[in-house]
Structure 1
Amino acid sequence: MLEKVKYAHIPAQREYSFHFDHVKIKWNEQITLHQQKTWELSYVIVGSGTRIIGDTIEPFSRNEIILIPPNIPHCWSFDELDADKNGEIENITITFSEQLLEKCSSAFPELETYIKKIHKNTEALSFKGETLVRLQSILVQMAKETTIDRLSSFIKLLSIISSVENTSAVGRPIVEDKKTKRMQKILLYVMNNYQNTITLEEMAQLVQLDKSSFCIFFKKMTGKTFFSYLAEYRIESSCQMLTKTNMAIAEICFASGFKDIPYYNRVFKKIKAVTPTEYRERI
């Protein structure tokens, strides 16, 4: 289990002003929770699951594009059931430094206003609507371009991501205190093990607390009990399977960590106000 946030290492590439990465990899080979000193623009082309960005953990789906400011911890945990036929996910990632933004602002006065707006972003942003469509088009085109052509495309990206229209915040910087680190550890463990049986004993041991102290700590930090949170997480995971696969309800029940089908149905209806079957039909 991850003890601390890792810093992503990007190989030095002096011949490039920014790093462009278009990959198809196995669904479980993504880098774990990490942070870096560069900005990151990430486009999930194939895949869905759960992501952590700063203080926020929530489901994600394919086609999303996220802008992450420097030094915000983040990771994407992909679902095996939403990979391609080869078990692979696909994404495009661009990372660029503060120094590059400063040089662009200095060299190109036309960009100064846009870059000032980018610097005002302290939260990770998800793009929507027409802005999302434009970004998707440019990023896909960049995968086919030469390094020279990518320079002009990158400048277009800067002008688009500087706008806060059609965006929503999906993660804020976190204060690196003991409580926050403890919660990160708990949430990561749930992300990686929700399909299995999870006990209070193992969770308490994970963060070096006794069971009673763990329960008090988790309730204080989240406003809910650990098992309520775990049930909600499993239900959200099962919703992804209901909408993106043709698996039977019983299969989804067990794949999302429940051991009893009637109990799964009761919990699902309590949280979503409909049965799993009704939820699938509505979607």
Structure 2
Amino acid sequence: MKPIFQKLPHTRGSSFIFERYVSPRFETPWHYHEELEIVLCDGGFGKKVVGNHTSEYQEGDLLLLGGNLPHLFQADDYFYRDNHEQKPAAIVLQFRMESFGQLFFDMVEMEKVRMLFQRAHLGIEFFGEVKVRIRDILKENIHESGMKRLTSLLTVLSLMSETSEYQTLSEIGMLGVSVKDSERMHTVFDLIFKNFRDQITVEQAASLTNLSKPAFCRYFKARTQKTFVDYLTNVRLEHSCKLLRETDLSILEICFESGFNNLSNFNRQFRKRIGCQPNVFRKGFRWKEIQSES
């Protein structure tokens, strides 16, 4: 499948898309489109790429993606293998600013929403109370039509523009990439996500993209602001954090399950990039869980 510029069809009687999509593996490749996009992950877990940002996604995650911002959601092999009857799902709203009329967002009342759209060029992830409120609005109104459908979108945008419970994702703005460029990046992401538990070399990635090793290194660094090795290490550490949060596997088991070949290297990389040792990270997360339940 080619990751391409995607032309989104609008449903009859609506100026924007508001649908729940269910997919065996989120097959939509690395792609971009003119529309802004609100994504509520409504089932499954895996990896997400937003601009030059890569991290895990899980059910309940809520994002706003700017127009022409390349992105990809890929269900994890574990979910696909262990959940034969449940498929990854997402509630998606896709809209253009022009859908509301040429001058709608120029109104003074829309100043915070305009600022929200500017931040969305980097991708935004929401958390906390605002995420819960927006999740409820989306689920309650997905089958509505007419003004109720439109009002729900405006209410969501208002909540997103007012909250401080968010983080931007991509370190750089990435707008509109060519089909050839997208194909190369998708090939590399596919290699990393499917094989990060095993040994992967720069030479492997370079050969898949038909570039020499030096040319590939320059290309990948220009696209992601990271070296291939740093990017791969970040993916492995994201996965290790997920296992530390959600499983009772030992630190040694997590080390090898995340693609690190020895415990000392795992501990060193974790401390360097996360800021603490893996066991401290796990204790801190579980302490927060206890505090939130009390």
TM range, normalised to the smaller chain?
0.7 to 0.9
Which of 42, 45, 53 is 1:45 aligned to?
42
**Which residue does the alignment assign to 2:290?**
none
TM-score of the superposed pair, with normalisation by structure 1: 0.76
1:53: how far off?
1.2
**Which residue does the alignment assign to 1:269?**
267
**Which residue does the alignment assign to 1:73?**
70
Q: Amino acid of the residue matched to residue 20 of structure 2?
A: H
Q: Distance in 1 between matches of 2:242 and 2:94?
A: 29
Q: Amino acid of the residue matched to residue 73 of structure 2?
A: W
Q: Distance in 2 between matches of 1:25 and 1:128?
A: 24
**Which residue does the alignment assign to 1:16?**
14
Secondary structure of 1:75's aligned partner: strand
Does the C-alpha gap of structure 1 residues 97 and 213 become closer, same or farther in structure 2, counting only changes over 3 Å?
A: closer
1:194: how far off?
1.9
Q: Amino acid of the residue matched to residue 205 of structure 2?
A: M
Q: Distance in 2 between matches of 1:247 and 1:131?
A: 32
1:19: how far off?
0.9
**Which residue does the alignment assign to 1:244?**
246
Q: Distance in 2 between matches of 1:153 and 1:110?
A: 21
Contact map agreement 2:3 2:31 (CA 8 A) in 1: yes
Q: Distance in 2 between matches of 1:152 and 1:110?
A: 19
Secondary structure of 2:21's aligned partner: strand
Q: CA RMSD, aligned part only?
A: 3.8
Contact map agreement 2:237 2:258 (CA 8 A) in 1: yes
Structure 1: state its 5+ residue gaps. Answer: none
**Which residue does the alignment assign to 1:34?**
31
Secondary structure of 2:72's aligned partner: strand
Secondary structure of 1:6's aligned partner: coil
1:282: how far off?
4.6
TM-score of the superposed pair, with normalisation by structure 2: 0.73
Secondary structure of 1:7's aligned partner: coil
Does the C-alpha gap of structure 1 residues 104 and 196 become closer, same or farther in structure 2, counting only changes over 3 Å?
A: farther
Q: Distance in 2 between matches of 1:81 and 1:9?
A: 31
- Over the matched positions of the two proteins, sequence identity in percent amounts to 25
Q: Amino acid of the residue matched to residue 36 of structure 1?
A: H
Q: Amino acid of the residue matched to residue 204 of structure 1?
A: A
Q: Distance in 2 between matches of 1:114 and 1:223?
A: 30
Secondary structure of 2:154's aligned partner: helix
Which of 49, 54, 58 is 2:51 aligned to?
54
Does the C-alpha gap of structure 1 residues 170 and 227 become closer, same or farther in structure 2, counting only changes over 3 Å?
A: closer
